Each structure stands twice: as structure tokens, then as C-alpha cells.
Chains A and B, each alone.
Chain A
């Protein structure tokens, strides 16, 4: 068990809320969270629908281990059709929201339609109601969070909110819970705002039980925790330096995308690294990092809580930014930093605070700004566009201003809110957009890590590191070391990572555990909690099924194998420095083999046999 077996359905058009039993046949095939919610979405929406229209649905979903004592078991995901890509979107968040939904007695909440007026959903265990949000609309995430807590006079409510970026149509807006944890990527916040849904506020006091074999579960989760604490990455690196432990490592191997991916190493990386966050700064003598912090149930605690120097130009005379808040993760530090050529740590932290305060993805934002900076240097974008601000690479001022504009949807911020693909098209240089399927790249240059090129090209939600993190194998040697500069064997590696990750994303656990855990560690925990068989083999099969279902959704939405590409820059312009000097990404050497190991046609469509083997509709979706 471990599922609550209850689904809440919220029809925003009608303003009605109903309860239905969880489809347990699907739970047995798709486990929970990412897989199970995608199964619901596929059943319920037309893949061709307008992502920002009322026909799209948005599902907030937990996994069976969400809310339990399994380490990191507090996650939830938001599954919908994404506005940047027109493909399946699934964003995962930590903090304390997933466990609260589960504690209130719900596995998932399905939002459909569009409310005629701004509303928020308030859930107190079995009781749920849509309340007016006219006063919350136009407010930042941080303001809305405070107002909702005050209104209900309950400091223990957990809240997920969209900010002004989402309201003003920023295409990469996320949903922020607990002030600084985010379902950040692929524009799920934009979808939420398009439904006039400002927030979801939950208070759950029922507890999570229904564990199949409690004794076995406690044993398995304790063993899992031991593995995490004894592992060098999850036991030392992540608690000490956060995901920022990667900054210097990735720069050294020559896979640090820099200045809109023109370069693969950033000369300023040591100034924006996890180590730098711990150094006392010249201004106030204090380090940027205040403490590390855990999400619900997490024994790793990779989260960063940072404070900006009060004398820093970004926050001078702005006491509202002087307190501690969510600090830089590696992805944010990379996108706001090296991709824009900026090495001012506090400026990056400020931009990151704004991304949290108004709810948008720092990866997509940083990458879009980097493209704008490149076009500025080419003279395509000028000071007339940028309100007189110098947008050259390296400008901390440009970074701070750009974030302020995107936060409020003002001026040039409106262009930046389009995302890199649409911005570059608008200014006539689509080749400068570092995106796949419309989603901006994360922090690993695929010229220096070949497998990641294939992972990006084939990722179902666009360029993403969290769909198949072969960096683990190619750079860190987890579970075993492969050569990052060769393409041989990478098709199989990418498939294995993609399938395993799809399964992990369906449990309620954090994917960062997989620096230490394999499915051998995870399956006993799931198996002890959930009815049915959850062996490693079953989990892998579930993962592969999810991957193919997402692929079929994308095919039905109108994507094809042609969308499995990389920008020309990564295929034609060789890396200029570092161990990958002279290398481009050789996607063409990997893609045909990948289609083959996937059991897809040479055009990248799952074959009837593959679908049948996985228990999917042999004709695909929507046929």
C-alpha cells in the first residue's frame, strides 16, 4: 500500500471538487508520481491541446513513499503539457509540500478547466475548497505565502504558489513551495497561472500509514540511510557543498557551458563554486552560505541557505533581501553565472532569490539571458532594447536588472520571458538558441560529456539533465566509469539511466539519492511499503513503460524523431579548451543505436512490438 488511494479532482471552470479512488490497476503498472500522473494525463487530455488553454490539465502528484520515513521521501511532481515545448512536462519538487498533500490523505490532485476568477485551493485533510484570490493576484510568491498563512492563522500550512512571472506569461515560470523549493522546469507554473489558480495551500494531520510490511520497511529504509551516509557524494560532498560540489569538477573536465555555450570552461568558476560560498567575503566578512538545509525526510540535506552582503549593489537599501533564503544550486549558479559570464557570487544569489520570489526557472532564465547577451555583443540587441543597460557577457548589473524585469513582466523582461528559442527567433537568430524541443540546456556541455548529448536530444521534456544523468557514469564513475569523450556504449547507457530515473521519479524519493543508491537499494524500500511485487526488474520495466508512454504522448502531440536534435553549435563548433579540445558532440553516432535499443523505428517511433511488450496501446496514443 502506502498510497492513500484517493484522488482529488478540482474542476476550476465549474468551481467543483470531487473525490475518486486511485486507479490501482494503473498504480501497479506505473507506481506513482511521474509515471502514474502521466498515465492519468494521457487518458484525459488531447495531446494536441493548447498547453495554456483550459483543455490542458495539471496534476500535482505524490509517490507511494512520499510522507514516509524513507530518506528524501517528501517529493511531489507536477505533470502537464508544457508551454515551452508542447511536449510532456513533469517537474519535481522537494521541500515540505508533497508530504503535506499525502498527510492530508491524497495521492494526487487533478486540476482541470480554468477558473473565471483568481482562486486558490485550500485543503485541510478531507476538506477542500476553492477560495477567492483576487487579493493574492499580482503578489509575489513570498507575499502570497505570508498572506495565506495570516488569513488562516496557521503557520503550519504548506503552500505552493505561482509568482508574478507566471501571471505575466513568462513561459518558464515554476511553482514554488516553502518559499524556495521549486517545481521549476518546463513552465508548469505558467500552466497553473493560465488556469487562474494562484496557490495550493495544504494542512495534513492524518499521517501516512498503510505500509505493507512495517518491520521490513523500517529495516530497508534504515539500510538505505546507512548507504547514503557512508557514500562520499551523499554523505560528505552534498551536505558540505550542495550540488555546487560539481562546479569545479565539471569546469575541470571541460564541460562547463560558458557564454551561451561558446566556451566549455569558465575562468571565474572558482569564484562562484560551492567552496567560494563558504569563504568569508571582503564586504561584511561573512560567507555567502549560512547553513545547509534538508527537504522533508532527507538525510542528505544538500539545500543551501544563503545571505547576501547588505552592502552589495543588488540589495543596498533593500532590507527585504537581507535575510537568509534559498541559495545557489549548481544549476542556478551555472546558468546565472558562467553561461552569462558573471562571476559575482552575491549577484547570482540575488538573481536566484528573485527567481524564487517570483517563481521562474533560473536555468531557462540564465540561458535566455545568455542568448540575449550574445545578440547584444553582435549588435542585434541594443541599449534601446535594454533600457540603456550594458548587456555584455559578464555584466552583473545586466543580470540583476534582467531578473527584476522578468519578475514583474516589465520592459525587456517580456522578451526574456519568452525563453531562448522564441527570443532568438524574434531577433532573427534561431541558431543561437541553446535548446532542445524549446527547453534550455542545463549545466553539462555535451562536447565534453558525449552521452549527455544523446540524453538531451532524446529527453522527453526537452534539454534536461534529470531525465538521464549519464554524468554520473561518465564523470563521477557511478555506478561504473565510462569515458566521457567516446560515443561507444552511450546509447545503452542513456537508455538504462532514463528508465531507472523514470522509476525513481515515480516513488516519492529524490533523484539525488542515486549518487549512492541504485534500484537495488530503492526496490526493497518500495517493495516493503507497497502491495504487489516491486523487484528491481519490475521497477526497470515500469521505468521503460513510462519512458515510452511519454514518447508516445509527444508523438501524438506532433513531435517526431526530427525533434531529437542538438543545436548546431554543439555539433559543429569544437570545444576550444580543456580535455575535450577539438571535440564536438557526435550525436549522429549514437542516435541510430539508441532507437534500436529502445525498440523504435529508424524514425524514432516505438514499434507495435515494443508497445505490446510494455503493455501500452500498440497503436500509440490518441489513435
Chain B
């Protein structure tokens, strides 16, 4: 079963534990500047929104890459960057409509979310469950359940 990152912005407090977990996993240091997931603060609205790669099925970045440095991990569905193949041309960063592939000045190649090989650190680190790693076919399940419960006053569904 494939899983997906499910993000529920209304639960996010903006603590950046996810950014630290991500950078620590990928770079060995706590460095939000190198995180693959980013938290955006909308101060005037009082909202925090986590954002990262959605692992498109027909990934723009993958199709755009001239040297086939972005490949699918069949086990996780993640589009992964092969750093040894990447030439740093940055075409993928232009191709991605969501801006979730980025160039790293230090390593001179691009980097993006790779779902940590199937055990994403951000989801484990999030103290509020604003990020969870769920059945890819059913990322809407929680919202469906919440709406279903609205029609059943007093009930707590256990689907």
C-alpha cells in the first residue's frame, strides 16, 4: 500500500519541529534552511501552513530533467533526486508548479522531499499531527469521517 503525507494546516502551530527533523535526517544537522518541508506563516491571518512535495504521479520535475536524475522509488512512490547524476541545471525547479524542488548552493545539486524512504521524519516529529503519513487512496478519510459525524450528533465514528 502506498502512503502519502497528509497535511492539515489548521492543526499546525508553526513550531518547525518538522523542518528540524527533515534537515537532521537529510543533512545531519538541525537546519530549517535545508528542510524539504517548509512552514509558511501568515501573520495577519494567524495561520501556519506546512508545504512540501505532493509526489505527483506524472511529475513535472521528473519529465523536465534532461539527465534523468529524478527517478521513482517504486516502494514509496517518491520522486527521488540522484545527487550523483544531477548536474544542477535547475530546470526541474522551474518545471515544478509548486516550487518544492530547490537548488542547494553548497552541494550544487537540487533537493526535494523523498519521503525518507517510506518513514517520513516530519510526520513523526510533528507534535500536533498536522502532518501524518496515511493510505494514499484515502487522504480524505479524516475529513469524510468528520463530516459524517456532523450528521450523527453525539456519535464518534470508528471507521
Contact = CB atoms under 8 A, between A and B. Distances in A.
Contact of A69 (B13, B17, B27, B47): B17
Identify whether the interface residues of A are mostly helix, strand, loop, or mixed.
loop
B43 interface: yes
Contact of B29 (A96, A179, A209, A324): A209
Interface in A300-335: 301, 303, 305-307, 323-325
Contacts of B48: 291, 293
A325 B47 CA distance: 11
B30 A207 contact: yes
Given A291-B47, A301-B13, A207 B127 contact: no
A298 B15 CA distance: 5
B30 A291 contact: no
Interface in A191-212: 204-209
Contacts of A290: 45-46
Given A204-B33, A205-B34, A207-B29, A299 B45 contact: no
Contacts of B125: 69
A511 interface: no
A307 B20 contact: no
A324 B44 contact: yes
B96 interface: no
Contact of A179 (B27, B43, B128): B43
A148 B47 CA distance: 23
A385 B147 CA distance: 59
A307 B46 contact: yes
Contacts of A303: 13
A292 interface: yes
A225 B124 CA distance: 12
A356 B114 CA distance: 40
B33 A294 contact: no
Contact of B14 (A205, A207, A293, A323): A293
Contacts of A208: 29-31
A68 B13 CA distance: 17
Nearest to B29: A207
B29 A299 contact: no
B55 to A, nearest CB: 25
A205 B31 contact: yes
B16 interface: yes
Q: How large is the interface on A (under 10, 10 to 19, 20 to 34, 35 or more residues)?
A: 35 or more
A7 B31 CA distance: 20
A113 interface: no
Contacts of B24: 69
Interface residues of B, number: 26
A93 to B, nearest CB: 16
A68 B43 contact: no
B15 A323 contact: no
Interface string B15-40: 11100110110011111111000000
B127 A293 contact: no
B119 to A, nearest CB: 14
A296 B46 CA distance: 16
A103 interface: yes
B16 A297 contact: yes
Given A69-B21, A225-B127, A323-B43, A294 B15 contact: yes
Contact of A205 (B13, B16, B33, B127): B33
A301 B28 CA distance: 26
Contact of A324 (B16, B27, B34, B43): B43
B48 to A, nearest CB: 7
Given A69-B125, A295-B15, A324 B45 contact: yes
Contacts of B17: 69, 71, 297, 299
Nearest to A228: B127
A179 to B, nearest CB: 7
A229 B32 CA distance: 23
A67 interface: yes
A301 B111 CA distance: 30
A116 to B, nearest CB: 34
Contacts of B47: 291
Contacts of A294: 13-16
Contacts of B14: 293-294
Nearest to A292: B13
B33 A296 contact: no
A107 B29 CA distance: 16
A204 B46 CA distance: 25
Contacts of B13: 239, 291-294, 298, 301, 303
A209 B33 contact: no
A595 B29 CA distance: 45
A34 to B, nearest CB: 22
Nearest to B105: A205
Contacts of B29: 206-209
A225 B16 CA distance: 14
A96 B154 CA distance: 41
12 contacts: A67-B30, A69-B17, A71-B127, A103-B31, A207-B23, A207-B33, A297-B17, A297-B20, A299-B127, A301-B15, A323-B43, A323-B45
The 3 lowest CB-CB distance pairs between A and B, nearest first, are: A207-B31, A207-B29, A323-B44
Given A103-B31, A103-B33, 16 more contacts: A68-B30, A69-B17, A69-B20, A205-B34, A206-B31, A207-B23, A207-B31, A207-B34, A291-B46, A294-B13, A299-B15, A301-B13, A301-B15, A307-B46, A324-B43, A325-B43
